[in-house]
Structure 1
């Protein structure tokens, strides 16, 4: 398989070689589904229709899943857990706005384009146009790596698994299963602070997994998502554990410092951190949190004078942990300096939950390496703007600031501030639209969780593999052989008049 032959620019920090162009391509999964039907008379374990996926998850999670002959225990009904992942804030208008924003753009396919020349398969650094190479798309992207920071982060595709907490509520395979499924596909897994698996368990799962079709390449390093504790010593402990697990990218979620008004969860009385004691694993396993909890008073166990622990006082521990990570007030921008000191200059910091271009500029001003344009999938503020609607404004504001600074300092070649996108992604064309509008990669959450709820690890993998195949095949069909081919010129705003270029 070919390797990227591009050389780092003068201001880039040297890094390990990029992952190879995927061969066979992600699109081959489409044909695998047909082959499995013909050869084994088997249909997909999870629907391939993105708009039927939620309904299938609703039906499966509403009833008991029987025990299997291979020793898997029965799984009880999980309707409240389904509601937790599917529901949004208030009347759900922001969730609907996310889809309207994506659907308001249309792709304009181009035909009979040979595309850019890709590295010839099997010959490093040699350009070629053989049939095998011509069938491949270069979906690789490079993030970060600006002056004064660590090396770039290279991805096999512009897709990252979004941080999603409480995965044990959806299926017993939980985070360790989803992390392994993503790793097999070469997709980074984002560890949520609200995980039901510890950082160390997830790392062990990744260590035992290699990327498919890449000669046993190690799985991509995990990303870590922080719900920011009030106590900086607890924050330091969490970040040290994440770095020890290999994480170089820190996602700081800034739009969820308190829980929104979510009718689906309120009507079910379901807040997993307290009602079922799920989603607290990372906190309950943290040595600094445990020490502070023990110092807070006596536990509720049988022995007198026993220190409080998550084991003998689970409710007290859950209340203590949730008060740390959901403190009901946000942090000031200046506190990013605390995270930079704790995370280090060799790691990247992304601020997740940005909607306004001025906030993106503030994140950049205060030392972040990038932002995720996101409204938490419509789960936090009802009646808010669709996430994709704000992406072009954020991109324009940041790139204009970069160009202005470059003119003022007469500098060239600096790696741009990284801009990622999430909220509402369901299809390969959704991903392409976000990339055309300036995002460098996207995060995907709900669809993979529906796959997990339906069929565990294999369901999550099927859903992610299908999304990547859809992306890959759509790139092929619109005449784009690499991510570099995408841009606003590939889009048309729905309802806009056609303008011919003469």
Structure 2
């Protein structure tokens, strides 16, 4: 993606000559404002909200503000090489799309649109285990483009194996096991609305498309269950479950399966007892590279690699799980020091701009995962909105490299940063 920055500037300014402004703002603050206006209250609470008082979310951003970039002059760096190698594969830029659940809150066929946008921009997409489109549909939309798969470790071990097998079958380049959501965090924005998208059948498409899960749900549907209280809200929820379940609406409305699927999901989707012993079984269960996501403590990072993990993602789940947790960027520094220079370490949580990507790389990340910004692009303009956000972030990274005299990703080093005053 050499020259991505100048190409992006040229595209936008040439359109400006014709009186056309970008549908997706170039700065995050305006992107966030417009996306909020375009989103429902429930959607915004889930996607933009965080845990508790929001201190971890704020801390993620404050951590970036504590570092300042020191540009170097007269480098003659006309061309830049943004490519990186991750887990044996070459990527066009050190940027992947993070898994975000229940994306249909921000737009229909969300995961397929995101997949197409990722393919169009040459960006790897980590399919969400809590997606709204089956992974097979997303893979088909991407062609040969790079995709990874996120795994939430279920209480049902056969379901774990089934999801892994499907990830292998769709050509996933890695299995990303999320460790920090064995239970849902305290999320007041959702709680104040009494809103959980999964209880309406949103974000469970990987499950309702899975043969093992369907067997479990069918068994549950065949058992007697107490009649739910009939309220207007309950009727609306039933209609939502019916619409979000695979198959024809009227057939689903007469079937107990949509409700049974939701209840089954809520019971087994994540295993609160997840331990290192579970993770130790992965090497015998998959041929895919294993990435452990949610690492914040250096001892956990060491243990992950000792266990045979191929990479870790330093992440606090975008501030959505533990309030007052350490910022991911701060944790990155201690994790990199603990595991040495050769281990593959990615950063998630708090990335908003190309300058953020530069800072994370300088502090030791091999690549970063982008989350909320591309979801806001989806809310504003669907697939093209996601593409615009990706291109803007990569363009700013490229321009930042040009203006700091760095010709390739390896040249983005710690000596280009100083503590901000």
Q: Which residue of 1 aligns with 2:194?
A: 269
TM-score (norm 1): 0.76
TM-score (norm 2): 0.90
SS in 1 for 2:4: coil
SS in 1 for 2:281: helix
State the aligned residue count.
394
- Residue 105 (1) aligns with residue 84 (2): no
Q: Which residue of 2 aligns with 1:323?
A: 267
RMSD: 1.7
Q: Which residue of 1 aligns with 2:356?
A: 430
Q: 1:292 aligns with which of 196, 216, 237?
A: 216
Matches within 5 A, 1:351-500: 351-399=292-340, 416-495=342-421
- CA–CA distance in 2 between the matches of 1:323 and 1:429? 41
Does the 8 A contact of 1:173 with 1:457 survive in 2?
no
Q: Which residue of 2 aligns with 1:200?
A: 136
SS in 2 for 1:384: coil
Does the 8 A contact of 2:24 with 2:380 survive in 1?
yes
SS in 2 for 1:51: helix
- CA–CA distance in 2 between the matches of 1:86 and 1:23? 32
Cα displacement (A) at 1:79: 1.7
- CA–CA distance in 2 between the matches of 1:42 and 1:28? 17
Matches within 5 A, 1:171-210: 171-207=107-143
Cα 1:112–1:300 change in 2 (3 A) is farther
Q: Which residue of 2 aligns with 1:342?
A: 285
Does the 8 A contact of 1:259 with 1:326 survive in 2?
no
Q: Which has the larger radius of gyration?
A: 1
SS in 2 for 1:80: helix
SS in 2 for 1:362: helix
Does the 8 A contact of 2:109 with 2:133 survive in 1?
no
- CA–CA distance in 2 between the matches of 1:297 and 1:51? 46
- CA–CA distance in 1 between the matches of 2:137 and 2:363? 37
Q: Which runs of 4+ in 1 moved over 4 A?
A: none
Q: Which has the higher contact order (CA 8 A, sep 6+)?
A: 2
Matches within 5 A, 1:16-415: 22=1, 25-39=4-18, 41-61=19-39, 78-115=40-77, 134=78, 136-144=79-87, 152-207=88-143, 218-219=144-145, 221-274=146-199, 276-298=200-222, 311=252, 312=255, 313-327=257-271, 329-344=272-287, 347-399=288-340
SS in 2 for 1:340: helix
Structure 1 unaligned residues grouped into runs of 5+: 1-21, 62-77, 116-133, 145-151, 208-217, 302-308, 403-415, 496-502
1:26-49 alpha-carbon deviations (Å, 9 max, x no partner): 54112101111213x211011111
- CA–CA distance in 1 between the matches of 2:71 and 2:194? 48
- CA–CA distance in 2 between the matches of 1:335 and 1:300? 33
Q: Which residue of 1 aligns with 2:231?
A: none
- CA–CA distance in 2 between the matches of 1:26 and 1:334? 46
